[in-house]
Amino acid sequence: MKALNEAYAVLHDDAMRKDYDKQRTRSVAAAPDINTAPPARDVGVYGQALNAMVCLAAGLMLLLLVRFNGLWFLWPLGILAMGVMLFGVLIAHSAVRNARESLRASHPVRRLRAVQELAFWTIVVGAVYGLYLILTAV
């Protein structure tokens, strides 16, 4: 309530209001620069591929830790590991798509989108099946 009363006092008095407005107005050149991180698309294909590999490696490490150390009471960690690996797959798919779109329009690889998608998802399904075999065999 005290802050509201002070604000009302400044807005109600014309001289105080002018002083406040002078303090608030600064030139654009005097304003500080705003630095933001680039979006994922600006990181580039190599950055996305590296992020995907880190996610996949971290998820695989967590999944194998839970499975082979007999820590069955940490089953939520296994769910987290699968989520991290799924996120890595989605980042890898985005990296493949961005790599394809970065090529010139007349490049022959751009016309083979369906083949690339089929190959990518075949590799993903094959890796998941191989991981399943490893986890159930031991």
| Residue 34 φ then ψ, to 5° | -105, 115
**pTM of this structure:** 0.64
Half-sphere exposure of 98 (CA within 13 A, CB side): 16
CA gap 33, 133 in Å, rounded: 53
Q: Flag whether pLDDT at 83 surpasses 90.
A: yes
Residue 29: count of CB within 10 angstroms of its CB: 5
pLDDT beyond 90 at 110: no
Q: What residues have CB less than 8 Å from 81, skipping those under 6 apart?
A: 58, 59, 60, 61, 62, 63, 66
pLDDT band at 42 (very low <50, low <70, confident <90, very high): low
- For the chain, give the mean pLDDT: 83
Mean pLDDT score, 44-68:
88
For the chain, which residues make up each domain, given as ranges?
40-137
**Averaging pLDDT over each range in 9-18, 19-28, 78-87, which range is the top one?**
78-87
Indicate the pLDDT class of residue 119, thresholds 50, 70 and 90: very high
pLDDT greater than 90 at residue 88: yes
What pLDDT score does 39 carry?
A: 65
* Cα gap 138→133, rounded to integer Å: 9
